[in-house]
Structure 1
Amino acid sequence: MNGFMDKLSEKIMPLANWLGQNKYLMVLRDAFMLSFPLTMFGSIIVVIANLPFFSDETKATLNTLLGSGQSATMSIMTVFVTFGIGYYLSKSYEVEGIFGGAVAFSSFLILTPFFIDTEAGEISGVLSLDRLGAKGMFIGMLAAFIAAEIYCRVTKRGWQIKMPDGVPPAVSKSFAAMIPAIVTLSFFLLINVLMTGIFHANLHDVIYEVIQKPLTGLGSSLPATLIALFFVQFLWFFGLHGQIIVNSVMDPIWNTLMLDNLEAYKAGDKLPHIITKPFMETFTVGLGGSGMTLAAVLILAFFMKKKQYKDIGRLALGPAVFNVNEPVIFGFPIVLNVTILIPWILGPLLVTTVNYLLMAAGIFPAPTGVSVPWTVPIIASGILATNSWLGGLLQVIDFAILFVLWFPFLKTLDRSKDIVA
């Protein structure tokens, strides 16, 4: 078994290391984290305005009064992501980040239709919220990366207006950014002219139909989710942060699905997706961190006989309640511990499958699209994510499944003679 794992790690680790250190994936991760405080504020507003014990009339009133708090944050997440990509990618090239962010965002807007089709006809001079949110996510990311690349490369070539030394820094930087910004924005304006003038289309709708819909459809499926979870667990087994590596690829898809659900939830429509970012945070990480190890920590703390295991479990219990499980991953350890490889990998896959099927059958509600911090403890996070006590109950069922799965493997370790009690 050890020999097989060694050979497998030799094949997988180079790819994992490349993903973990890839500049563009790191920029994308940081850009989404830029929007995190804002989406959390929007989520809090949605939760307050839609508490389950409020009447429909009260909910409608609160949504009218508080709705701008969500519309100005979660509903326009693409705005913050595009700016963040431009900012962080420019910083990686050691170019002034604030101008890179502004140019990236402006490039995205150049490609964005400034009209809305209604039953009464076309209304021009306005922006649709969905194009600044879920529907515009992929074109926003694509435009921001290309814009930042062009801007930085032109800047690095020295195509700048240099001001005398006595000019204030803010003025000097603005003039230095002028030519790179003009070149970049001209490129995107030309693309938009070609799309609208020759092909009578807009790149938003083309990217949405050709790239975004197929990718989100794939990402919302159970098989794709299980594959992603498998690699999270597999990479963690070798001591690599699987969550960061895999999520840097999957987060754009899961966040887009989250925004789709949120818009449907606000409109009172059926939620279109089960797999979303809140689903992954609440019903995987939300049960003790990566690998859902809260049940394993409790077994270590209260059901093991050997003192070393008990001590590890009790030390890890506090962090595990808030879904931080590095103490047990590296202290138990889970890393390279072949004896508990089966529950470590199988647990998340089994629980996720059960949750998906129960939600698909309508027995338990899917997450509404509200973003819940991954550090919120079990039960509370389930209730907040689904706006129903059933979400908390489902987490309790998940915990029971994991407890039963982990118990025999941990007790086998407890009976072994590798560690003296």
Structure 2
Amino acid sequence: MEWKGYENEVTRQRIFDKFIEFMGKFAELKVVVALRDGFIMTTPFTICGSAFLLIANLPIPGYAQFMASIFGSNWTDPLNQVAGATFSVLALICVLTISYKYCEAEGCDAMMGAVMAMSTFLILTASYIVSKSGEKIGDVIPKMWAGSNGIITAIIVSFAVSYIFCYCEKNKIGIKMPESVPTGVVKAFSALVPGLIFFTGAAVIYTLCKVLAGVTFPELIFKILQTPLQNISDTLLGGSVIAGLQSILFWAGIHGPNVVGGVISPVLTANAIDNQHLLDAGMQLLGNPQAKIITIQVNDVFIKSGGCGLTLGFLIASFLCARSQQLKPISKLSFVPGLFNINEPIIFGLPIVFNPYLLVPFVIVPIIAMIITYSSIVLGFMSPFSAVQVPWTTPAIISGALLNGWQGVIVQIVNLIMATILYFPFVKLQDRVYLKEETVNKTAG
């Protein structure tokens, strides 16, 4: 029986090692790295857009009426103009940033590749809108598809164009110019052939989609891929998988939030922007069955409060019970960064990475935080989130208040108390291990 138990343990370890090896390789894929880094480049746009949206929609009773009495009834127009030029064109921004990062990593002309991708995306997108009266208005870029609804299309176009562009450049497929011609002119002419490939292909795809399906390519992708992905992410199971997977990977030494976030952040951001569209249409989010529950704010502000794994709860538990000279100093040093959601000092300094004593709470705590946050929105205690975001370094309590008023603060506090309680017995166990080691070392010395 003992041998069988050992055999099972070895099998489980092998499966886990294979999983970690697979995720490590996945994290290093060019497309994953480009997607992650490209989406990180959109941060200034989403944060700045959020700041203006927040000013326009501060959750303070009487605030809107007070501002209107000073600046007039249209006081939010310039603020919404900024939001419209950031959130509402997020797919366009993603096309540029993801393509740029992919081409840059390949050592190719990143700017030219990014602009080619943007033009290709625009060819695939409708150049008209239909008014409420049914009138077709042309020569416009519909923000409906240049924004959150077009994000998956933007990702597909970015990778397709970047790959072909880099292939052409590396294999010198293009118009060759004499050596005396300036470098800028040479680059421009070398892009002619891949440009013809992209634009012709995009025109053919646009025509086929319109003739066969009666929609544009972004609309088709939205129905086939993006809507199911958003629906899956907007479930308690989907949210729990996201929360748990981030922690499992980070525990194994792979930056889980970066890997998982690189893939899922565009979808969660699209969920938040969809909610903003509901608000813009004059609807409420609270109690609205159309509103998405799991958005980028749920993951960044409530599930990773204090850092991935809600390690601020670990630090508080450590202050309450730690006596070892190894745990006490690292907890003190990690506390201030932890307040600003930076937990690498405790992740790698303690470490939590590959620490068998802390694997269970490090994975379970964020999953339970997801359940608490999800339930608070479903039950109507807290409103679903709009496009407003806060910088990821904003401390807990402050971020909750900015995003959802006192209800957001309460949910963050509940999550933090839960994290502290669940971490406590494991921190005590870790502390006893360290104390034993220190006693042995002191005796040996």
TM-score range relative to shorter protein: over 0.9
How far is the alpha carbon of 1:304 from its aligned partner?
1.6
1:152-167 equivalence runs, <5 A: 152-167=166-181
Q: Secondary structure at the match of 1:123?
A: strand
Q: Label 1:348 to 1:168 Cα distance change in 2 as closer, same or farther (>3 A).
A: same
Q: Label 1:237 to 1:48 Cα distance change in 2 as closer, same or farther (>3 A).
A: same
- Partner of residue 56, structure 2: 49
Percent of matched pairs sharing the same residue: 29
Structure 2 CA distance for aligned equivalents of residues 412 and 91 of structure 1: 47
Structure 1 CA distance for aligned equivalents of residues 363 and 12 of structure 2: 14
- Partner of residue 254, structure 2: 240
Give 1:405's aligned amino acid.
L
- Partner of residue 417, structure 2: 400
1:173-203 superposed Cα distances (whole Å, 9 cap, x missing partner): 1112112211221111111122224543321
Q: Secondary structure at the match of 2:108?
A: coil
Q: Secondary structure at the match of 2:149?
A: coil
How far is the alpha carbon of 1:368 from its aligned partner?
2.2
- Partner of residue 98, structure 1: 111
- Partner of residue 3, structure 2: none
Structure 2 CA distance for aligned equivalents of residues 5 and 396 of structure 1: 36
Give 2:307's aligned amino acid.
G
How far is the alpha carbon of 1:224 from its aligned partner?
1.2
Q: Secondary structure at the match of 1:418?
A: helix
- Partner of residue 243, structure 2: 229
Q: In the alignment, does 2:41 pair up with 1:19?
A: no
How far is the alpha carbon of 1:302 from its aligned partner?
4.5
How far is the alpha carbon of 1:119 from its aligned partner?
2.6
Structure 1 CA distance for aligned equivalents of residues 66 and 185 of structure 2: 53
Selected match of 2:133 from 117, 120, 143: 120
Structure 2 CA distance for aligned equivalents of residues 404 and 139 of structure 1: 44
Q: In the alignment, does 2:286 pair up with 1:263?
A: no
**For structure 1, which segment, 9-18 or 289-298, has the greater mean C-alpha deviation from structure 2 after superposition?**
9-18
Give 1:300's aligned amino acid.
S
Structure 2 CA distance for aligned equivalents of residues 262 and 142 of structure 1: 24
**For structure 1, which segment, 61-70 or 341-350, has the greater mean C-alpha deviation from structure 2 after superposition?**
61-70
Q: Label 1:254 to 1:198 Cα distance change in 2 as closer, same or farther (>3 A).
A: closer
Selected match of 1:278 from 297, 310, 313: 297
The alignment yields a C-alpha RMSD, in angstroms, of 2.0
Number of residue pairs matched by the alignment? 419
The list of structure 1 runs, each at least 4 consecutive aligned residues, that deviate by more than 6 angstroms after superposition, is: none
Selected match of 1:195 from 206, 209, 213: 209
1:346-375 superposed Cα distances (whole Å, 9 cap, x missing partner): 111111101101111101223222122211
- Is the CA contact (8 Å cut-off) linking 1:301 and 1:311 kept in structure 2? no
Greater relative contact order: 1 or 2 (C-alpha under 8 angstroms, separation 6 or more)?
2
Give 2:364's aligned amino acid.
L
Selected match of 2:326 from 308, 312, 332: 308
Structure 2 CA distance for aligned equivalents of residues 312 and 57 of structure 1: 48
How far is the alpha carbon of 1:379 from its aligned partner?
0.5
Selected match of 2:313 from 254, 273, 295: 295
Q: In the alignment, does 2:67 pair up with 1:58?
A: yes
1:353-364 equivalence runs, <5 A: 353-364=371-382
Give 2:322's aligned amino acid.
M
1:70-89 equivalence runs, <5 A: 70-89=83-102
Selected match of 1:208 from 208, 214, 222: 222
How far is the alpha carbon of 1:62 from its aligned partner?
3.0
Give 1:419's aligned amino acid.
E
Structure 2 CA distance for aligned equivalents of residues 241 and 198 of structure 1: 43
Gaps of 5+ in 2: 1-5, 286-290, 440-445
- Is the CA contact (8 Å cut-off) linking 1:379 and 1:392 kept in structure 2? yes
- Is the CA contact (8 Å cut-off) linking 1:299 and 1:313 kept in structure 2? no
Q: In the alignment, does 2:239 pair up with 1:220?
A: no
Q: Secondary structure at the match of 1:116?
A: strand
Query: Could you tell me the TM-score, scaled by structure 1's length?
Result: 0.94
Q: Secondary structure at the match of 1:179?
A: helix
How far is the alpha carbon of 1:25 from its aligned partner?
0.9
Structure 2 CA distance for aligned equivalents of residues 395 and 225 of structure 1: 17
Gaps of 5+ in 1: none
How far is the alpha carbon of 1:109 from its aligned partner?
0.4
Q: In the alignment, does 2:335 pair up with 1:317?
A: yes
Structure 2 CA distance for aligned equivalents of residues 247 and 199 of structure 1: 33
Selected match of 2:370 from 352, 374, 395: 352
- Partner of residue 36, structure 2: 29
